[in-house]
Amino acid sequence: MIQSDQHCGVVAIVGRPNVGKSTLLNHLLGQKLSITSRKPQTTRHQLLGVKTEGSLQLVFVDTPGIHKGQSKAINQVMNRTAAAAMNDVDVTLVLCDRTRWTDEDDLVLSLAAQQSGPVALVINKVDLLEDQSVLLPFAKSLSARCQFDAVLPVSALRRRGLEELTQYVQQYAPLGPHLFPEDQITDRSQRFLAAELVREKIIRQLGDELPYATAVEIEDFSADEKGVLHIHALILVERDGQKKILVGESGGRLKSIGTAARKDMERAFDAKVMLKLWVKVKSGWSDDIRALKTLGLDPLSES
């Protein structure tokens, strides 16, 4: 039975790559949901994080970083996904990294300025600022280009300012039924989360050597009679040399990636996990729309 006093608000988190959107989502939820790394463009998919407390439900939309200067199909898909996330939401949070403003931030700002609903500027990583007095003039200069409803300084990593941010978005949660059950924290499946955890370990361990020419597809996700999860993951790369780097000497690098991913999966799924990884060369997958659709990377395509 739907409670008559329920409120449910949808909040888009947007920004250029590597400003801390996924870290912010994880700490707002109080648990790890979206993968993170210090490498830009770690997030490829739109992902919903659901926080339910009593009669209030907040649905946070984590998006890929909006970026410029790359023409591959995967980059176009990521930008389109992020821009679409601002449609039909109750409030948009524009996240930036302190006062480090770039052309890509300009692109985010221009998209946010077109929104009819409330838009807040969230200045992240303020704990790293030596002089906090620069925040006010910085915010004022941006407010001349986008009518911000609020300016919120935070440190997602240190969990500073998150209570104030949550209180801010709560006021825009309209009266209406919850979109998700009380115990659900995301719209994504365990298969999706497993693939993302493998990809996170690849980026963290090989980010400089093997930037973003990898994708992960879960070929098997099943539980045996003892409740042990058997997960088989296929890792796609674009060239033979990338496969060699990923596998490592005597398979050592792939084993290290698998061990780290398995430990995170066991925490996430609260079960023992048997993880097997394979690497396959698929030339040009990141610029192939059909391949992206197969990997679930082009949900907004009209074709």
In the chain, domain spans: 7-170, 190-294
The model's confidence at residue 229, banded by pLDDT at 50, 70 and 90, is: very high
The model's confidence at residue 194, banded by pLDDT at 50, 70 and 90, is: very high
Please tell me the distance from the alpha carbon of residue 86 to that of residue 119, in angstroms, as a whole number.
10
Whether the pLDDT of residue 22 is over 70: the answer is yes
The whole-number pLDDT of residue 71 equals: 52
pLDDT, average across residues 105-115: 85
Whether the pLDDT of residue 198 is over 90: the answer is yes
Q: Is 123 left (phi over 0), alpha (psi -120 to 50) or beta?
A: beta
Whether the pLDDT of residue 69 is over 90: the answer is no
Whether the pLDDT of residue 73 is over 60: the answer is no
**Comparison of pLDDT for 118 and 285, the residue scoring more:** 118
Whether the pLDDT of residue 211 is over 60: the answer is no
Class level of CATH domain 190-294: alpha beta
Whether the pLDDT of residue 93 is over 80: the answer is yes
Per-residue tokens: 41: 């463009």
The whole-number pLDDT of residue 300 equals: 45
Whether the pLDDT of residue 288 is over 60: the answer is no
Note the pTM of the prediction, 2 decimals: 0.74
Whether the pLDDT of residue 65 is over 60: the answer is yes
pLDDT in tens, 237-260: 888 998 999 999 999 999 999 999
How high is the mean pLDDT of the chain? 84
What superfamily does domain 7-170 belong to in CATH?
Answer: P-loop containing nucleotide triphosphate hydrolases (3.40.50.300)
The model's confidence at residue 294, banded by pLDDT at 50, 70 and 90, is: low
The whole-number pLDDT of residue 124 equals: 95
Q: What are phi and psi of 51, to 5 degrees?
A: -125, 115
The model's confidence at residue 91, banded by pLDDT at 50, 70 and 90, is: very high
Coil, strand or helix at 266: helix
The model's confidence at residue 16, banded by pLDDT at 50, 70 and 90, is: confident
The model's confidence at residue 85, banded by pLDDT at 50, 70 and 90, is: low
Say which range, 22-26, 54-58, 123-127, has the weakest mean pLDDT. Answer: 22-26
Please tell me the distance from the alpha carbon of residue 168 to that of residue 90, in angstroms, as a whole number.
12
The whole-number pLDDT of residue 301 equals: 41
pLDDT in tens, 140-149: 999 888 889 9
With CA atoms as reference, report the closest residue to 233 among 200, 268, 270, 186. Answer: 200
Whether the pLDDT of residue 72 is over 80: the answer is no
